[in-house]
Amino acid sequence: MTLGDRVQLWRAKKGWGLRELARHSGVDVSLISRLESGDRQTISLDAAMKLARALGISLDYLSGMYEEEREPETAGVA
């Protein structure tokens, strides 16, 4: 799953159109559209952070570090 696929999936889960995600995130609608269509493969860290925050997902998940959105693991918990 690509970055654009993850954005599209979570945007759909929220029931938002492209413009609504742009409004909530502060990321240009054309960038989101190109990302979701696959015309653009990468974005800036700032844009990724804005999208993750607006979608309510972690930056790790959005970037592809994990296949599923999950709670962060806590290290050293006794």
* pLDDT recorded at residue 52: 96
* pLDDT recorded at residue 2: 92
* pLDDT recorded at residue 72: 42
The full DSSP string for 37-69 is HTS-----HHHHHHHHHHHT--HHHHHTS-SS-
* pLDDT recorded at residue 74: 39
CATH architecture of 3-63: Orthogonal Bundle (1.10)
How do the pLDDT tens digits run along the chain, 78 residues long? 899 999 999 999 999 999 999 999 999 999 999 999 999 999 999 999 999 999 999 999 999 988 776 544 434 444
In the chain, domain spans: 3-63
How many Cβ atoms from other residues are within 10 Å of residue 54's Cβ?
21
* pLDDT recorded at residue 70: 57
